[in-house]
A and B are shown apart, each in its own frame.
Chain A
Amino acid sequence: MYAVAAVVTAVVLAPLAAPGYVLHYDMVFVPRQPLTWDLVAPAQGLPRAVPMDAVVSVLTQLVPGWMVQRMALGGAVLLAAVGAGRLVPTERTGIRLLAAVGYAWTPYLAERLLIGQWGLLVCYAALPWLVRAALELRAGRAGAVARVLLAAAPAAITPTGGLIAFGVVSLLAAQRGRWRGPAIAVAGVALLNAPWVAAALVTGAGGTSDPAGVAVFAARGENWAGPLVALAGTGGIWSAQATPASRALPLVPLVTLVLLALAGAGFGLLRRRMSPDVSARLLVLAGAGFLLAALGAVPGSADGLRWAVAQVPGAGLLRDGQKFLVPYALLLVVCVALGAERLVTRLERTNREVAGVVLGGVLLLPVAAMPDLAFGGAGRLRPVSYPADWQAVAGLLAADPGGEVLALPLSGYRAYSWNAGRTVLDPAPRYLPATVLIDDTLRVGDVAVTGENTRLREIRHLLGAGRPATETGVRWVLVQQHRADQVDPATLTGLELVHQGVVLALYRNPAVPPNPVVVSPVRWVVVAAMAVAIAVVVAALFRRYASRLLHGNLRSEVQTLEDWHA
């Protein structure tokens, strides 16, 4: 299983064998990410990457960012495949392999990889392990609570992953007559979610979002069959640029139909082997995920979602609903594998060769239907090196700390020539050891989805009125040279040029003296929440490994004594 999973991982992520950093849409890794307050607890933005950024910052103090990126992506694809293979209730290795390949080759994985949301892929990889641990908890196995918490911890590095993990554990672990273990597991997973919940409570951004995002981030039809069929095949991400080209083929809905038919046949086997109660709960989870994914794409529910996003704090999490498809993808793959087992078992009664050929065909089906996931989405993910300017500017800011950095031209996403023009989230907030202000307006097609950062709103208003950057109160201005023509020269009036490089220029605002970073006491709440989450993980690790070691040592001592007496 591990060998097949390793081959699939190598095929999907082959370009990452080259040195450098893959910078693609939301995927930004830097050599050494500073542990700044804005990455731990954003003061003005929504905590979309809490505690993920803090985790990466800590890890990159120990190992270089390029290695963290490979560990995260490689680990996610490999463990997703192995986890799915091991979850299938079967004795047949071929069926497990089918699930392993199928789960590591879904449109969901491809699309979230191509939009660079690796945190969601970590949740995707953790889910089969989490479901397995939750099933062990239901079965009353010793140490299952610790396994649940250890599987949920990586999922909870993003708010979406944390919510999915919480939903899975709440629904699967709950059991009549046995409450202690499930209650501890649910409480533990809730505490793992504490960092982003605390960050959301203390941020100055407010909890509501621009409802324009509902329509633009709704599930998208990838071919003639529309968004719901795309979702049924685990695809349907909003972005055309993050969708493999093969998803537009007219035969894709037929492949989805075949998979659904197999899954339908496999669900009966799942009921028999995992008990009707468990399979019904898995179905509810998958159904809930599918409904959340479809909310923005169905006219009536889209209106409700638009209202919720604008009025209910936190509802903005639902606007890119396709990301909630993870439990659906897992159940689909497991049921397809079991459906294939039923089919193959039936065929084996008449002809073993045909059965083998059919099994091979079903195993290849996901790859044949979407071959352009291979090689990093047919070459879309390619590592590059940061130009030396980045290190130079980071060094200057580290030598003269204090004050905000404004990145110009105002845009959250960049397309650098040194990154082959690929769109990527501005690396400045993660590369530079300072609070970096980048525009949080998201432009999708011709729609601008307003961000939540109030400070940025003020700055945008000032610069839009033709005022110089010196009046914004920022201490530094970073001009990204590839689009320097979009920066009005009047904006830079009164600034002192500190560094002029090929790709970056750094200006200092003489009107703003260096001021120490003032940390609002409420931000320590987020640190406390992170400490609690870490304590949960450490306790689970201790329960899982250290106690077993102690018991093991005790058992071996007893055995030695018994041998001696004998």
Chain B
Amino acid sequence: MRKALTLAVSGLVAAVLGILSLGGLAAATTATEEEAVAEAQELIEEAKQADEPDPYAPEIYGSR
């Protein structure tokens, strides 16, 4: 009984990790140019609202 429970719990954890990895990998490999542009746009908007410089302006090396 104890063995079965241990196997079930560790199997569940491994399955979650597996799903996270595969799901994440799938999301990453299907990332499109549009999504990247949308994400950049979002960051630019956030910076604008916070009255901070545009992190994607060419003269900006990056932001913390």
A residues bordering B, Cβ < 8 Å? 11, 14, 25, 115, 216, 220, 238-242, 246, 350-351, 353-354, 357-358, 360-361, 364-365, 367-375, 377-380, 382, 409, 411-415, 420-421, 423, 442-446, 482-483
Contact = CB atoms under 8 A, between A and B. Distances in A.
A482 B63 CA distance: 22
Interface in B39-61: 40, 43, 52-53, 55-61
Contacts of A365: 17
A382 B33 contact: yes
Contact of A443 (B3, B23, B60): B60
Interface string B10-37: 1101101110110111011101110111
A409 B57 CA distance: 13
Contacts of A115: 62
Contacts of A360: 14, 18
Interface extent on B, as a size class? 35 or more
Contacts, number: 140
A148 B28 CA distance: 37
B27 A378 contact: yes
B50 to A, nearest CB: 11
Nearest to A245: B39
A423 B61 contact: yes
Nearest to A241: B62
B37 A420 contact: yes
A413 B58 contact: yes
A482 B59 CA distance: 12
B31 A444 contact: no
A397 to B, nearest CB: 23
B24 A357 contact: no
A473 B6 CA distance: 76
A358 B14 contact: yes
Contacts of B58: 411, 413-415, 423, 482-483
A449 to B, nearest CB: 8
B53 A357 contact: no
Given A25-B62, A413-B58, 18 more contacts: A25-B61, A239-B63, A241-B55, A353-B7, A358-B10, A364-B18, A367-B25, A368-B20, A371-B24, A371-B25, A372-B27, A374-B29, A413-B61, A415-B56, A420-B36, A443-B61, A444-B60, A445-B55
B10 A240 contact: no
B53 A372 contact: no
B28 A354 contact: no
A467 to B, nearest CB: 21
Nearest to A359: B14
B61 A421 contact: no
A361 B25 contact: no
A354 B4 CA distance: 9
Interface of B: 3, 6-7, 10-11, 13-14, 16-18, 20-21, 23-25, 27-29, 31-33, 35-37, 40, 43, 52-53, 55-64
Contacts of B59: 409, 411-413, 443
8 contacts: A241-B43, A372-B24, A374-B28, A378-B36, A380-B36, A420-B33, A421-B56, A443-B59
Given A351-B6, A354-B6, A357-B14, A421 B63 contact: no
A368 B32 contact: no
B29 A361 contact: no
B10 A14 contact: no
Contacts of A371: 20-21, 23-25, 27-28
B21 A368 contact: yes
Contact of B14 (A364, A411, A444): A364
B2 to A, nearest CB: 9
Contacts of B57: 415
A420 B38 CA distance: 12
A368 B18 CA distance: 7
A112 to B, nearest CB: 13
Closest 7 CB pairs of A and B: A371-B24, A379-B31, A239-B62, A374-B28, A368-B20, A361-B14, A415-B58
B63 to A, nearest CB: 4
A273 B9 CA distance: 32
B63 A240 contact: yes
A378 B62 contact: no
Contacts of B25: 11, 367, 371, 374-375
A182 to B, nearest CB: 41
A13 B55 CA distance: 25
Given A368-B21, A378-B31, A361 B10 contact: yes
Nearest to A425: B61
A466 B10 CA distance: 69
A373 B37 contact: no
Contacts of A367: 21, 24-25
Most buried by A among B25, B43, B64: B64
A220 B16 CA distance: 29
A415 B57 CA distance: 7
